[in-house]
Every structure is written in structure tokens, then in C-alpha cells.
Chain A
Amino acid sequence: MDPMPIPRDFLLPLPAAEGDLELALVVLFLAHILLVNLMLGGALLTLAAEVRGLTRPAYDRLARTIAATVTVNKSLAVVLGVGPLLAINALYGLWFYTANALTGRAWILLVPLIASAFLLLYLHKYTWDALAGRKGLHLAIGAAGTLLLLAAPLVFLANVNLMLFPGRWGEVRGFLSAVALANVLPRYLHFLLASLAVAALFLAGWLCRRGFDFAAELPGLDRVAVKRELLGVALGATAAQLLAGPLVLLTLPPHGLSWLLLGNLAVAIAFAAAALVLLWRESGIEGPLGPRFWLVVVLLGGTVGLMGLGRHLYREQALTPHRELVAAHTADFRAASLGAEMRLAAGTPRLGPGETAASPGEKIFRASCMACHDVETKRVGPPLREIAGIYAGNPDGLIAWVKAPGRKRAGYPEMPPITMQPPQYEAVAAYILDEVFATPSESG
């Protein structure tokens, strides 16, 4: 076994220019991951608000309002995932599919996992009134759905991580060992914190939007207090990235690092730091949502965009050496394959070790007859010795039989009709009736 497998790539051209596909991948993935953040963060905040609602019933209403956004965001998250999935399939199919296979059970379990999570979240949403008297059960349904949702990103992360390390493919033994590889868990933590921050920021904007009658929709709650709480969540989660971010960077295997990537990250961190300061000041203000909030959104949007670009830079850097090996191997294979095709067309295929040159009739016999007919003994059908005796001097009779085996004899299964070109019938008949008994039998 090779220490690092060098497979051959697809032998069809990329469907579009590589740069365009890369751009599509980065942009479409960001759109997808933002919706995933909203869905996951929203589900967590729904639960948190519902728990608070146990003692302050006004929060139960808030939980329902948040749950309504999750209904839409979760479907958009799934449908927006298809675009980047398509792009990653086209660009990195070889690496991605390899990671999928090596984590196969977890990978395919994503389907029932996410479907069940969504069904549970619907159940949670549509039984809110019916289960009003059994809050424990209702919360348990929501928590079960959210827990299932929380498992899904771990599977995706394990895959996009594993595909970057062909040198480690040989060590992987199933999904759990892929999770333990490199820095999946720090990245997962980074992602969860981002989900909380993104969802809290979105909800602050959503609940304070013009046209939303806060007092009527959420009686008993104070708009400014809710805004401050949500911004507090965003602030806390983003501040925690000050720990999670360096953890991700430190555990990142170095083979994908580059100065370009580090410069990109430095700008992203500067944006995030500025956003943190503004967020801290905005969350302290006893008033409606100010313009500073939108500046925070822009800055954090910039951070997310730069992080997305950084992911791509890292991936390209990490995969380049293996990709070059694969490209060279693929070119060699293509040339060899064409060579063999041409030799076959010219009627001179190379023989494998231990093979002997055979007459045309013998080749056809081996390919089409030998599974059932031996020379001297009964295999599935009668031996050639017997057949040659029946049809001696009558090749046409033998050919007619082979084309349409008509009757059965006791103790033998029915022979299927054998279809081939007319000269092939003649060659194989000549082999059976003339050649095979002219030389010593080779069969064993």
C-alpha cells in the first residue's frame, strides 16, 4: 500500500473555467453558511427563550417568534447548500468523494439526521399550544431537534477537513478518527460561536425592524431590553472567538499556510476587533437600534467574507502538491489507456503473464463457452469431446445450435442463446471441431 494514495482524476474536462468555479464555491458557500448559522443559532436561542419563559411567560412568545424564523431559515439553508455542493463536487470531486467514503456511515446518516431534526422542529413549532400544559415534553422535543441539528456540522467539517490531508488518508478508520484528525473540533467550536453571534445580530435587527409592532406582538417585553440582551449574546460569542480563533490557527496543519492567508486573516481580525468595540458600545445604549449596529453588520460581514476567502486560500495551498501528483498520474493513465485501446483495435493486445497466444476461435471459446464447457469432463454442459463427436464435419449444425439451443437433455440446465458476429461463430466452431483435438489438451 502506498503511504499517500495518488488516484487518477476524472477523465472529463471541468465544466467551466476553474477560476469561475472557485469564485462560485466561495460566494455560494458563504450564503449557505450564513443561513446555517441563522438556523442553528436560531434554534439554540429559541430553546433559551423558551426556558426563560418558564419563569417569565413573556419570553415564551419571544421563543415562538424566533422559531418562526427558523422554519424559513432552515429550508433556505438546505437549498442554498446545493449550489456550493455542486461547485465542490466539480472542483474537488476526487478529494471530496474520498473523504465521503472514508467517513461513509456518518456521511449518509446526515440524510435521516437532518430530516428528523427538521421534523422534530416542526413538531415543536406546531404543538406549542397543544403542549402548553406539558412544557417539559415540549422543550424536550425542541432540544432533541436542536441536538440532531448540532451533529450535522461536525460531519461536514470532518469531511472538508479530511479532504485536505491526502497524506493522512491512510490512517483514517471511520468517522470518529476523521473527527480526531487535525483541527476539526476547534473549527466546530469556532463555527458554533459564529452561529450564536450571527443569529443574535439578525434577531436584534429583525425584532427592531420598522413595521414590526413589538408591543402588540411581544406583550410584556421591552424592546430595548431584548435588543440589549441579543446584542449581549452577539458580543459574548464574538469575544469568545478571541480564544477560539487562535486555537483554530494554532491547530491548523502548516502545509496550507501562506503569507497571503495570514495577511488575509489579519485584516479579518482587525474588522472583527472593530466590530467588537462598536458592539460593546451599542449594547450599552438605552435606546433603539442605532446606525452603529449596521456598521457592526458590515464589519462582521467583511470578516466572514475574508474568512471564506481564507478557507479557500488554505485549501488551494494544502492541495497543490497532491493535485500535481494526481494530474501527472492521470495523464500517464490516459496515455496508457489510449495505447491499450489502439492495440486492441489493431488486434494486438499485450498478453498478461502466464497467458499464451491463442487462435481467434480459442479466444472466443475462452470468453464465451469455457465457463460451462470443458474439453474432457462435464462442467455445466457436456464436454467438447462429446460435442465434437456429435457435430463432426457439420460446423453449420453446431452454429445453428449455439444460436438457438432448442432442446434440453436430462441432467443439464438449458443453454442460453449465444450472440456474436457471423465470423466468430465460424471461428469457434472450427476451434471446437478441428483445432482442440489436434493439440494436447491444456485444460485442468
Chain B
Amino acid sequence: MDFPVFHLDFLGNRMLVAGIAVLHVFVNHPFAVGAMPLVAALEWSGWRRGDAGWDRLAYRILTVCFVVTTTVGALTGVGIWFATSLVNPAAIGSLIRVFFFAWFAEWLVFVTEVLCIMAYYLTWKPMAGRKGLHVALGAALAVASWVTMAIITAILGFMMDPGSWLERTSFLSGVFNPIYLPQLAFRTPLAMVAAGLLALFLAYFFTRGDDDLRRRAVRWLSLWSLAWLAPAAAGALWYWRAIPAWMAGNLPVALGTQRFAAWYDQLLVVLGVMVAAVLLTTLAGALLPRRLPRVALLVPFALTLVLLGSFERVREFIRKPYVVGEYMYANGVRVADLPLLKEEGILRHSAWARVRDITDANRPAAGAEVFRLACTRCHTASGVNSVFDRLTGLYGAGDWDRETVKYYLLGMHTARPYMPPFPGTDVEAGALADYLVTAQRSHEPVPGAQDVGLDGPAPAGGEV
């Protein structure tokens, strides 16, 4: 990272990216990628049978999707860029240099998608006399929505496993990384299932007072979701197998958190129960739509959101210690630069470091600076994933021994494969240990460049 260090010491930076990204997936998969083909199919089905109530239901579902995707969906999509440019500019800037044309193509499709959804939604009533053309417009929109996701999935796959790009560094070798197609094969049907469950949830509100319509809609939407559930399971299996072995080792911590890693098996069971619940509800909806209690329509959608959220968390976590597999560590340090930083130090090679030389007088302050540069992409001092909490877990609440901490820092990546190696000299590791030991009790929050710029108050334990 050779940028001013943006840092949120309470929530943590990862939470910022994760919050926006998960919200985006919550909107994108059910409300766009899955919903657009679903609504077009609904509209077509109503048109074929000349069913005005059915057409109205499709329009109402689309209204919700239109409002949500053109506000929260569009802005969180751009927001992922905004957040990553704050939290890990080194990573996003590198990705843009590799994937410029993929993103550019995605943008062109995205423009098409927005034009299509404007046209599709705003002409629903004016084009009531030309339904065939209007349904075709919906189909075009469905394709555009899917293509934008298909392109971005290539980039997400690349971040997990760049494959042959590391040797060839060509655009195409980056796009067709080993995880791309499996992940796409999983995401596509998952989005369809999620859209079906969303529509079930919405149908609960939009069919009030029309039991017949409700019964038929519940059956149709349940069948839609069921039909996509099997491909989703197959895609999940393929994706699971494509995850590199070194990454799969991270799965227990990824699914839970470090503290709950031991609950891995139980968590898998919980996820299995959730899938089963979705399966049962949709089966019941398809076979006995009259019997299905109304509240039951709300549950599967909520469950899907939880599933989607944990899927994204796992994807984010298991690629550690890298942010771009085998090219850049999570803290923005290029793998290739590690030897130099270990020889000459991270302070010396950071334009924004407030301390350059370590003396006996400034060791804790210099260590705090090392902490800001090397650790704060994932750790805070006082908040989520606090470095002090992690060390307390290791060494207890008593006074820590500086040497112990120092040697832990130098070797942590061997015992904890998700940690990147310490990117500095032994002296810097010692200074960082001094800072950690000095601030062990205070947990003084570390300020970010967004608040204090280059200046800021001296960190605990010394003068800057």
C-alpha cells in the first residue's frame, strides 16, 4: 500500500467492503439477474392465457425490482468500487490494469441493461397492445442482466485463483481462470432460485384478496424455484471442487470465524437444514399451494439471503492471505516486493509513513505506524477483529512478552495460513511488538487518513 491509509477502527475496513458487496449481491441476484427472466416468463405466461390479474402481478413484482435495482442496486454496485478504492487501492488499481477491457465490456452491457429496464418497465402499460414485442424486450433485459454478472464473476474468480495469468499475464488467461466457469455455474441457478423465492415473498402482498390468483402464483413460482434448485446443487459441487486445496484449508475459519472454526461441521449441518427448508417449502408450494400458510412464503427468501451472505463471506475469506491470488497479499503488499520489504523495511518504502527511522525513543510510535501500514486492512485496534483481541486469545490477558509477540509476528504465516508474512524487517517487527505490548491495555483507536491526513495525534506510547 503506497497510499494514505484510510481506516475505520471500529467497524473495520473489511466490514465496509463486505457490507456494500453483500447488499449488492442481495439486490443483484434476486432482484435483477434472477427476477428479469422470471418477470418476462410471468408476463409471457399471462399474455398467452389472456390473464389480466396475472399480468398485474408480474408488473407489480417488476415495479419493486425496478425501484430497488435502479437505486440500491446500482449505487451499491458502484459503491463496491468506491469502497475498495478506499480500503485496498493497491488491489483494485492492479485489477483495473488487468481487467480494464472486461470492466469496459461489462459497462457497455450495464448501459444496455439500464436502457432495457427503463424501456421494459416504463412501457409496460403503453405497450399493452404489443405484448409480443414487450416480452422480447424483457428477454433482452434478462440476457443483459446475466451478462453483467457473467463478466464480473470472471474477475471474482481471478481474485481467488489467477491460474496461468501469473506466468502469462495476458487478459484472456486472466478471464479464463480456473474458478470462473464453476462459480458462474453456481451463481446463475442460485440467482434464479433466489428470484423465485423473492417473488413468492412479494406474491404474499400482491395477491391479497384473490385466493385463486395466489394459489396459481404460488404453484408457478414454487415450480420455478424447484426447477433451478438441482442445477444450483450441481453448480455448488463443481465450484467446491474447483477451489484450490490451499484455499479449502481456510474453509472452517471462513464459514464461522476464527472463534467458531471448531463448529465447522455443525455449520455445514445448519446450511444443509436451510437448503432443506427451502426445498420443502417450494415442494409444498408446488404440490399443495392451498395448504401453504402465508407466513411460510416469507421464510425461504430470508433463508436465501442468509445463504447468499455466507457464500460471499466464504468467497472473500478463503482467498487469504491474498487479495489477488499469489500476486498481492491482503494488506496490499505485492508478493514480489516481500523480499525487499523484509530487507529494507515497510516504513522506508511507504511514501505516507509518518515515521521513517526507528530509534529507541520512538519504537512504539514507529510500531503503530507499521501497524497502520501492514495490518489495518484487516485488523483494528479497538473494534472488529482487533489485533489485541487476537493476541489475547493467544497469550492471555496477562502482560505479554515483547519477544514472544515479535517472534509470533515473524512466523505467524506458517501456523496460520490465512495470514500474510510480516512485510518488514526484524527491527520493524520488534517496534510493532513494542507498540502492541505498550497499547495492550488501552486499545487506543488508530485514526485513518480520512480524518487526520498525514498528521494526527501521536499514537500511544511515544512521540511521532
Tell me whether B96 and A101 are in contact (CB under 8 A): no
Contact A104 B448 (CB under 8 A): yes
Kindly specify which of B202-210, B211-219, B400-408 makes contact with the partner chain.
B400-408
Q: Is the interface of B mostly helix, strand, loop or mixed?
A: helix
In contact, A355 and B415 (Cβ under 8 angstroms): no
Q: Which residues of A contact B425 (CB under 8 A)?
A: 352-353, 355
CA distance A82 to B106 in the complex (A): 10
Instruction: Determine if B3 is an interface residue (Cβ-Cβ < 8 Å).
Output: yes
Which among B4, B100, B110 is the interface contact of A98 at CB below 8 angstroms?
Answer: B4
B427, A104: Cβ atoms closer than 8 Å: no
Known interface pairs A75-B118, A370-B411; A122-B67 also in contact (CB < 8 Å): yes
Stretch of B149-157, B180-188, B304-312, B333-341 that contacts chain A: B333-341
Query: Contacts A118-B75, A122-B67; is A7 near B3 (CB within 8 Å)?
Result: yes
> Does B114 sit at the interface, judged by CB under 8 A?
yes
Interface segment among A192-200, A307-315, A361-369: the answer is: A361-369
Which residues of A, 114-140, contact B by the 8 Å Cβ criterion?
114-115, 118-119, 122
Q: Are A418 and B414 also in contact (CB < 8 A) when A82-B78, A104-B6 are?
A: yes
- In the bound complex, do residue A85 and residue B81 qualify as a contact, i.e. CB atoms below 8 Å apart? yes
Structural contact, A349 and B412, CB atoms closer than 8 A: no
B343 near A1 (CB under 8 angstroms)? no
Q: Does B394 contact A (CB under 8 A)?
A: yes
**Residues in B neighbouring A277, C-beta threshold 8 A:** none
Interface hit among B48-56, B289-297, B452-460 = B452-460
Query: Assuming A82-B78, A443-B403, is B6 touching A349 (CB within 8 A)?
Result: no
Among candidates A72, A82, A100, A118, residue contacting B89 with C-beta atoms closer than 8 Å: A100
Within A64-117, which residues are at the interface with B (CB < 8 Å)? 71-72, 75-76, 78-83, 85-86, 89-90, 93-94, 96-98, 100-105, 107-108, 110-112, 114-115
- Provide the residues of chain B in CB contact with A111, threshold 8 Å: 20, 75-76, 78-79, 82-83
**For the complex, is B122 an interface residue (Cβ under 8 Å from A)?**
yes
A86-B103, A115-B71, A336-B344 known; A97 vs B85 contact (CB < 8 Å): yes
Whether B103 and A8, one on each chain, are in contact in the complex, defined by CB atoms closer than 8 angstroms, is no
Cβ B452 vs Cβ A173 within 8 A: yes
Chain A residues in 8 Å Cβ range of B344: 336, 340, 350, 352
User: B240 on the interface (CB 8 Å rule)?
Assistant: no
A420 vs B417: C-alpha distance when bound (angstroms): 12
Interface string of B335-370 (1 = CB under 8 A from A): 011011011110001011110000000000000000
Please name all residues of chain A whose beta carbon is closer than 8 Å to the beta carbon of B395 when the two chains form the complex. 380
Number of interface residues of A (CB under 8 A): 86
CB contacts under 8 Å to A, within B414-446, are: 414-415, 425-427
Q: Which residues of A contact B410 (CB under 8 A)?
A: 366-367, 370-371
**Does B107 interact with chain A (Cβ within 8 Å)?**
yes
The reply to whether the CB of B86 lies closer than 8 angstroms to some CB of chain A is yes
- Nearest-Cβ distance from residue B1 to partner chain A, whole angstroms: 9
Contact in complex: A105, B450 (CB < 8 Å) = yes
**A16 interfacial contact with B, CB 8 Å:** yes
Which chain A residues (12-26) contact chain B, with CB distance < 8 Å?
A: 12-16
Minimal Cβ-Cβ distance residue in A for B90: A10
Which A-chain residue is minimally distant from B354 (CB atoms)? A1
Is there a chain A Cβ closer than 8 Å to B111's Cβ? yes
- A15-B170 Cα distance, complex, nearest whole Å: 10
Contact A12 to B97, CB < 8 A, known contacts A82-B110, A102-B450, A370-B411: yes
A371 touches B415 (CB 8 A): yes
Bound complex: CA A434 to CA B75 (Å): 63
Bound together, the chains give a CA A333 to CA B350 distance in angstroms of: 11
Which listed residue (B2, B93, B353, B407) contacts A370, Cβ 8 A?
Answer: B407
In the bound complex, residues from chain A placing their C-beta under 8 Å from that of B103 are: 86
Cβ of A411 within 8 Å of any chain B Cβ, yes or no, is no
User: Contact: A101 with B449, CB < 8 Å?
Assistant: yes
Q: Which of B337, B352, B426 contacts A337 (CB 8 A)?
A: B337
**Interface presence of A170 (CB below 8 A):** yes
Which residue from chain B places its CB closest to the CB of A419 in the assembled complex? B414
Any B CB within 8 A of the CB of A6: yes
The reply to whether the CB of A171 lies closer than 8 angstroms to some CB of chain B is yes
- Judge whether A389 is part of the interface by a CB distance below 8 angstroms: no
Q: Does A379 contact B (CB under 8 A)?
A: yes
Distance between A377 CB and nearest chain B CB, rounded to angstroms: 9
A444 located at the interface, meaning its Cβ lies under 8 Å from any Cβ of chain B in the complex: yes
Residue contact B450 to A15, C-beta cutoff 8 Å:
no
| Bound-state Cα–Cα, A419 to B76, Å | 41
When chains A and B are docked, how far (Å) is the Cα of A374 from the Cα of B395?
A: 14
CA distance A232 to B276 in the complex (A): 65
Known: A97-B89, A341-B339, A366-B410. A75 touches B453 (CB 8 A): no
- B147 is an interface residue with CB less than 8 A from chain A: no
With both chains docked as a complex, state the minimum distance between the C-beta of A186 and any C-beta of chain B, in angstroms.
23
Contacts of B407 in A (CB 8 A): 366, 370-371
CB of A354 within 8 A of chain B? yes
In the complex, the answer to whether B336 meets A90 with C-beta atoms within 8 Å is no
| A371 engages B340 (CB within 8 Å) | no
- Asked whether, in the complex, the Cβ of A340 is within 8 Å of the Cβ of B454, the reply is no
Asked whether, in the complex, the Cβ of A12 is within 8 Å of the Cβ of B94, the reply is yes
**Which residues of B134-166 have CB atoms within 8 Å of chain A's CB atoms?**
none
Residues of the A chain whose Cβ atoms lie less than 8 Å from the Cβ of B454:
1, 5, 169-170, 172
- Interface flag for B74 (CB, 8 Å): yes
Contacts of A290 in B (CB 8 A): none
Chain B 59-94 interface 0/1 with A at a Cβ cutoff of 8 Å (1 = within): 000000001001110111011011101100110111
Given A5-B352, A118-B70, A173-B452, answer yes or no on A11-B343 (Cβ-Cβ < 8 Å): no
**B260 at interface by CB-CB < 8 Å:** no
Q: Does B98 reach chain A (CB closer than 8 Å)?
A: yes
Q: Cβ of A288 < 8 Å from any Cβ of B?
A: no
Cα–Cα, bound, A7→B89 (Å): 13
Q: Which of A93, A366, A419 has the most CB of B within 10 A?
A: A93
30 sampled A-B residue pairs with Cβ under 8 A? A7-B2, A7-B351, A8-B351, A10-B90, A79-B74, A81-B78, A89-B93, A90-B97, A90-B100, A97-B89, A97-B92, A98-B89, A100-B85, A100-B86, A101-B4, A104-B449, A107-B450, A111-B82, A114-B75, A115-B71, A174-B450, A336-B340, A339-B340, A352-B425, A352-B426, A354-B427, A370-B410, A371-B409, A372-B408, A444-B403
Binding site for B on A (CB under 8 A): 1-2, 5-8, 10-16, 71-72, 75-76, 78-83, 85-86, 89-90, 93-94, 96-98, 100-105, 107-108, 110-112, 114-115, 118-119, 122, 169-175, 177, 333, 336-337, 339-341, 343-344, 349-350, 352-355, 366-372, 374, 379-380, 416, 418-420, 443-444
Counting from the closest, the 3 A-B pairs by CB-CB distance are: A104-B450, A15-B100, A371-B408
